[in-house]
Structure 1
């Protein structure tokens, strides 16, 4: 529904102002990006982009306030998961090292 890939797509659309430009930057097909965005919108039940049809003004896309909020909440959650998983890993590694190290000799 939403993960790092969707976040990168929306960040590119936000920065570049179009799905086409985002597709080029991410080296993905336009249809692939369109499909991922549409699938997320259907699962979430909310629009992520406001799409402006091309023509003389050139068209483009911009994020909805919901998409911007979703991105920020995802970033916060992702940072929390990284911090917690790093701490768990460090504790696990420290415990394993303590179990495998020979006892220290005292004089």
Structure 2
């Protein structure tokens, strides 16, 4: 069963602390070393990406992403060790959830109308 069938969000204090979009953003930031480059890859504005990072950083007791301002040497962003641990934990939650619900997901998906 595909874990992508499940979309899990972790809510905290009225915000989505983690969800599929934020995890994807973190993965792109880790690969690109830049919020701006990650936003471009996801076809979202820099402002929206920065807002998502800000929400994550405010929801957790440790920084998820740290950034340095631009300038003559350029800026950048880095997913922290804690941020990488969140990515890994989220992926494990998806995998375990899909495994635990495999029978039920099979029942549901086999009865979905074909496009």
Q: TM-score, normalised by structure 1?
A: 0.79
Task: Find 2:31's aligned residue among 15, 37, 55.
Answer: 15
Aligned residues: 92
Please identify which structure carries the higher strand content: 2
DSSP 3-state at the match of 1:57: coil
Q: Relative contact order (C-alpha < 8 Å, sep 6+): which is higher?
A: 2
Task: Find 1:85's aligned residue among 86, 101, 115.
Answer: 101
Task: Give matches, 1:63-78, under 5 Å.
Answer: 63-78=79-94
User: Which has the larger Rg?
Assistant: 1
Deviation at 1:23, TM superposition (A): 0.7
Please identify which structure carries the higher helix content: 1
Deviation at 1:85, TM superposition (A): 2.3
DSSP 3-state at the match of 2:29: helix
- 5+ long unaligned stretches in structure 1: 94-107
Comparing 45-54 with 27-36, greater Cα deviation is found at 45-54
Deviation at 1:82, TM superposition (A): 1.6
